[in-house]
Structure 1
Amino acid sequence: MARGDAPRDSYHLVGISFFILGLGTLLPWNFFITAIPYFQVRLAGAGNSTARILSTNHTGSEDAFNFNNWVTLLSQLPLLLFTLLNSFLYQCVPETVRILGSLLAILMLFALTAALVKVDMSPGPFFSITMASVCFINSFSAVLQGSLFGQLGTMPSTYSTLFLSGQGLAGIFAALAMLLSMASGVDAETSALGYFITPCVGILMSIVCYLSLPHLKFARYYLANKSSQAQAQELETKAELLQSGQFFNPICCFLLFNIMDWLGRSLTSYFLWPDEDSRLLPLLVCLRFLFVPLFMLCHVPQRSRLPILFPQDAYFITFMLLFAVSNGYLVSLTMCLAPRQVLPHEREVAGALMTFFLALGLSCGASLSFLFKALL
């Protein structure tokens, strides 16, 4: 809630800045995971000079490296570790260093990913470099998002919603960019290079927005006497569930998910239900476990154990709609309600614990992905 003597957010510049910061924090990772066809082609040994890269119809049938599983695991474990570490870093590392340092590090790592488009490399070394980039990108993302949520904890909850909405829009932007790249008709290297350079521009915009905050009176008012709070971070983990049709995955798995996830996040701007004292909230969170068997019983090619109970794509799309909107809404809801559950001087510790256990759950899910894949 805004303080009575707070200045106005002139032209909504602070709100726009946090929206862009939300967009910039998840834009690189969303571009990374929506480029899975590119990485699969490179790991199949096709070579960047002959592969159709982002416009490929590659189905992942030669996934000798278990790329999706390793990406999921090696993205969540660093998030878990550095989310916990960030609760200690705030005491000895200045906030500006944590935020700007993380943004610059992610920028350099993604620039490396873009540069590798032009480098011919055998699958083994390319896989190792890519996995190392995954680890480092998510390590810095954990520090970045934890630090930014600490800032947002001192401001009206509207700004947390704007930040989360920006993160949701990052997924939509990445999915649309992938579709445009697939349909552009330009040569493979130019398409991939342009695709990976785009999030670098988003990071630069985020850096500019962060540097502008101290010059805005509204931001100074809330951040000057900040009592260091840390709230939960947004983690987006996606897996390729279906492999039929060239445009099905980018539209139904990425674009559809991110649009509905963004919609779910935005709903908390209008209402917060159920409230923090309701037993319905943890029940709704637990009920989302039902999506795991539902997705596994959909039509997924190359399976040998589980039956297909939902053969039509309409089932998968329906499940994805419900899964995405519930994900966005419940994540945003818990972020907004969490500070109300503890005393003001306990919010920093509570935020750090929330972030840790969220990352722990995602890490467990990433580890179980190997089992789920084997069960198919």
Structure 2
Amino acid sequence: MLAIFVVMTVLVKVDTSSWTQSFFAVTIACMAILSGTSTVFNSSVFGMTGSFPMRNSQALISGGAMGGTISAVASLVDLALSNNVTDSTLAFFLTADVFLALCIGLYLLLPRLEYARYYMRPVWPAHVYSGEEQPCQDSPGSPLAAPRPSFSPTPPLRPILKKTAGLGFCVIYLLFITSVIFPAVSTSIESLDKASGSPWTTKFFVPLTAFLLFNFSDLCGRQITAWIQVPGPRSKVLPGLVLLRTGLVPLFVFCNYQPRVHLQTVVFPSDIYPVVFSSLLGLSNGYLSTLALIYGPKLVPRELAEATGVVMSFYMYLGLVLGSACSVLLVHLI
């Protein structure tokens, strides 16, 4: 990831006007590599934190929303103050280079922390569970007490999928609804007073309502889980709340989405509605998705926690992919 970003940083200052199709191919290749490596990295780190207490997984997930919020703020500042596109682009890529290098250094320092070494210590190989065993929730200083039947060199997938099926559905459907709306629909909602020509209704309306407000609400929702963790992992209320978010789709569709081809009626003729709806979308996404993600690794024995964390991240990416694909269809229907 760092190597690709360094290459892209250098290309900012290179005159690529004569590259035409080759520059496009290089850009697409860089995006594909970045997407793959970031997925592997995020899944691996989230899997690793599955062995840590829930507060560490919650902090990791909140960090993702913090990154989105900082990016949205930086974009607004750049929009308001910068006049040179090249300098702005260089600043963004250099920032990414610095943070990636910092992440590498901090990750290499992690095994030096006694706290981290305790939870990263090796455990006996995973085994196939019948589903009747109780998960072992250990903490520093507590004895390990879990059965050790027939060992397997790789974590068994079936008991993980069985234990996390309900939470997996919640994660997939949550992120499906979110990515159906954001950013394909939410970023096309225009201010009803756009004709006035004011900066609020033209230049800043979408960056503020669609990006900053969503990311900040998402961050707040994730951070709330550090203090409040209800409903529980086996509660029927959690999937009910997840399904309830389906109602957000028509709310956004009937705001002032433009251009409209098939659905001409605007049901919510005020700029306050997209503000409220974006807040609800971000807050519910952050709170409910974080709960489901941090609950997953705690439903299984400790030796399966890391593999379960990876499976939970797979649910997350699956929901994002499905939602992104369906957002194209929704846009055409509007």
Q: TM-score range by the shorter chain?
A: 0.7 to 0.9
Contact 2:47 2:310 in 1 (8 A): no
- Aligned equivalents of 2:257 and 2:24: distance in 1? 25
**Given the alignment of the two structures, is residue 342 of structure 1 paired with residue 300 of structure 2, yes or no?**
yes
Partner residue in 2 for 1:205? 102
- Opposite residue 262 of structure 1, the aligned amino acid is L
User: Which residue of 261, 274, 291 maps to 1:316?
Assistant: 274
- Structure 2 CA distance for partners of 1:303 and 1:120, relative to 1, 3 Å: farther
- Structure 2 CA distance for partners of 1:312 and 1:113, relative to 1, 3 Å: farther
- Opposite residue 212 of structure 1, the aligned amino acid is L
- Opposite residue 294 of structure 2, the aligned amino acid is C
- Aligned equivalents of 1:284 and 1:198: distance in 2? 38
Secondary structure of 1:298's partner? coil
Partner residue in 1 for 2:205? 248
Contact 1:260 1:324 in 2 (8 A): yes
Partner residue in 1 for 2:10? 115
Per-residue displacement from partner, 1:17-50 (whole Å, max 9, x unpaired)?
xxxxxxxxxxxxxxxxxxxxxxxxxxxxxxxxxx
Q: CA deviation at 1:293?
A: 1.9
- Aligned equivalents of 2:303 and 2:123: distance in 1? 12
Q: CA deviation at 1:349?
A: 4.8
Contact 1:154 1:226 in 2 (8 A): no
How do 1:267-346 and structure 2 match up within 5 A? 267-306=224-263, 307-346=265-304
Q: CA deviation at 1:171?
A: 0.6
- Opposite residue 189 of structure 2, the aligned amino acid is L
Contact 1:175 1:255 in 2 (8 A): yes
- Opposite residue 261 of structure 1, the aligned amino acid is D
Q: CA deviation at 1:155?
A: 1.2
User: Which 10-residue stretch deviates more, 355-364 or 323-332?
Assistant: 355-364
Q: CA deviation at 1:358?
A: 2.7
Per-residue displacement from partner, 1:164-193 (whole Å, max 9, x unpaired)?
121111011101111121222342211221
- Opposite residue 173 of structure 1, the aligned amino acid is I
- Structure 2 CA distance for partners of 1:124 and 1:297, relative to 1, 3 Å: farther
- Aligned equivalents of 1:338 and 1:112: distance in 2? 38
Per-residue displacement from partner, 1:330-369 (whole Å, max 9, x unpaired)?
1110122112333445445544443333322221111112
- Aligned equivalents of 2:317 and 2:86: distance in 1? 35
- Structure 2 CA distance for partners of 1:136 and 1:180, relative to 1, 3 Å: same
Partner residue in 2 for 1:17? none
Can you give the 5+ residue segments of structure 2 that lack an aligned partner in the other structure? Answer: 127-154, 192-201
- Opposite residue 132 of structure 1, the aligned amino acid is A
User: Which 10-residue stretch deviates more, 276-285 or 222-231?
Assistant: 222-231
User: Which 10-residue stretch deviates more, 109-118 or 171-180?
Assistant: 109-118
- Structure 2 CA distance for partners of 1:370 and 1:127, relative to 1, 3 Å: farther
How do 1:129-144 and structure 2 match up within 5 A? 129-144=26-41
Contact 1:107 1:200 in 2 (8 A): yes
User: Which 10-residue stretch deviates more, 127-136 or 358-367?
Assistant: 127-136
- Aligned equivalents of 1:304 and 1:138: distance in 2? 33
Can you give the 5+ residue segments of structure 1 that lack an aligned partner in the other structure? Answer: 1-105
Secondary structure of 1:299's partner? coil
Contact 1:158 1:269 in 2 (8 A): yes
- Aligned equivalents of 1:116 and 1:226: distance in 2? 46
Contact 2:51 2:297 in 1 (8 A): no
Residue-pair matches, total: 271
- Structure 2 CA distance for partners of 1:162 and 1:356, relative to 1, 3 Å: closer
Partner residue in 2 for 1:262? 219
- Aligned equivalents of 1:166 and 1:246: distance in 2? 28
Contact 1:151 1:226 in 2 (8 A): no
More helix by share: 1
The alignment's TM-score, normalised by the length of structure 2, stands at 0.73
Partner residue in 1 for 2:315? 357
User: Which residue of 46, 61, 73 maps to 1:176?
Assistant: 73
- Structure 2 CA distance for partners of 1:197 and 1:262, relative to 1, 3 Å: same
Q: CA deviation at 1:111?
A: 2.8
Q: CA deviation at 1:126?
A: 4.8
Q: CA deviation at 1:283?
A: 1.1
- Structure 2 CA distance for partners of 1:296 and 1:123, relative to 1, 3 Å: farther
Contact 2:78 2:88 in 1 (8 A): yes
Per-residue displacement from partner, 1:293-342 (whole Å, max 9, x unpaired)?
22121111221111221221211110100000110111110122112333
Contact 1:214 1:220 in 2 (8 A): yes
Secondary structure of 2:232's partner? coil
- Aligned equivalents of 1:128 and 1:288: distance in 2? 39
- Structure 2 CA distance for partners of 1:263 and 1:178, relative to 1, 3 Å: same
